[in-house]
Amino acid sequence: MRTFFPLALASAVLLALGIAVQAAIWPIGTALSAGNSIVLKYKALPLSSADLKEAQIGSLIYRGGLEITSPDGRFGGWSGLLVSADGTHMLSQSDEGHWLRARLIYDRRANLAGIGNAQLADMESMDGAKLGAKLEADAEGLAALSEKGPDGPVAVSFERDARIWRYDLGASLEVPPTAIPAPDDIKTLDFNSGLEGLTKFSLDLLLTVAETPQIRGNDHPAWLIPIPGVKSRATFQELSIKHHDPYEISDCAMSPDGRWLYLLERHYFGPLRGVVVAVRRVEASAIKPGARLDGIEIAKFTMHENIDNMEGLALRREPGGKTLLYMISDDNYNLMLQRTVLLMFEVAA
């Protein structure tokens, strides 16, 4: 994760051009919960505040979105995302070392409409204490390790102190982790643009991706990493993902059917363009040791849409077979300048 120029200035620029960036006519709600509970306030967002009729970007059909706030000072920085197979709840982790678990609410058309029963807890280190300063707490990637999704064991990749840890969240968010062995090469990644994306690739392998090429003009390094406790002969294997300038990779996620790897790409703020976000997908059959992955861009978002610093990506399958894609933003704790937005889409093709 890297912070970028405040989006408030982008909003001011767009407002000066006569483009609205908020939609006050959309519903507002409040979510309460018990036990590690926090208050969440949310309002529904159109895909574009400038064009309320806009309903699709590329191959992604808009199925609802929320702008979410909380008076709890720990809320924000959400850098990973998991959504349960039935869509009823989500899990995220922040790059300041916090968990967020919440229930997702849908309208009669099964579009995302609200969020409730929110719990926030501090992530723990191996000794049971909460994670320390940013160096230790910079959690960026999140992957489910079982069919329980966000309610079971998960893997978390950390960027600054590069490592991958396993947390068993079945009974509580307040649990110490165990280490998942990872290749020594992850320790050589750039201090603030290292491990960013993490997903379960197969029954016995994780896939993790670096945010940026480590040498200008090169590809993004990536690794296949065996999952401990799963019978496998797999070993650490390196591969790469083609860099699409000017984007950086902020997350990755496998499709529910295992056919596609989805990549969330982001171009940081520019005074005129704002932030640009893209979604790309790669045939899973191409993911092999030593491979150079590329893929096809299926959607591109600009500040015309209600986006922010999108860092978390999750997918699930809706009854009937439609693939749903969710994205969440990292507000960098710039509470007055950036937003936490949670968006849902249907993949058209």
- Supply the CATH number for residue 26's domain: 2.115.10
Note the pLDDT of residue 4: 45
Q: Is residue 109 a part of any domain in this protein?
A: yes
Note the pLDDT of residue 275: 85
Q: Is the pLDDT of residue 204 over 60?
A: yes
Q: Is residue 325 a part of any domain in this protein?
A: yes
Stretch 72-78: mean pLDDT = 95
Indicate whether this model's pTM tops 0.85. Answer: yes
Q: Is residue 1 a part of any domain in this protein?
A: no
Q: Is residue 298 a part of any domain in this protein?
A: yes
Stretch 260-273: mean pLDDT = 81
Q: Is residue 2 a part of any domain in this protein?
A: no
d(CA 113, CA 93): 22
Pairing of strands 60-69, 340-347: antiparallel
Q: Which domain holds residue 189?
A: 7-347
Question: Concatenated DSSP letters for 143-196?
Answer: EE-STTGGGSEEEEEETTTTEEEEEE-SS-S----EEPP--GGGGGS-TTSSEE
Give, in order, the Cα–Cα distances in Å from 72 to each of 76, 119, 169.
9, 11, 22
Q: What total of structural domains would you count in the chain?
A: 1
d(CA 273, CA 250): 19
Q: Is the pLDDT of residue 325 over 90?
A: yes
Cβ partners under 8 Å of residue 92, min gap 6: 78, 79, 80, 81, 82, 99, 100, 142, 312, 328
Q: Is residue 58 a part of any domain in this protein?
A: yes
Stretch 26-44: mean pLDDT = 72
Q: Is the pLDDT of residue 263 over 70?
A: yes
The answer to whether 156 and 163 have CB atoms below 8 angstroms apart is: no
Q: Is the pLDDT of residue 222 over 70?
A: yes
Note the pLDDT of residue 273: 59
The answer to whether 90 and 322 have CB atoms below 8 angstroms apart is: no
Q: pLDDT tens digits, residue range 21-34?
A: 333 334 566 554 44
Q: Is residue 150 a part of any domain in this protein?
A: yes
Note the pLDDT of residue 232: 81
pLDDT above 90 coverage of the chain, percent: 77
Q: Is residue 90 a part of any domain in this protein?
A: yes
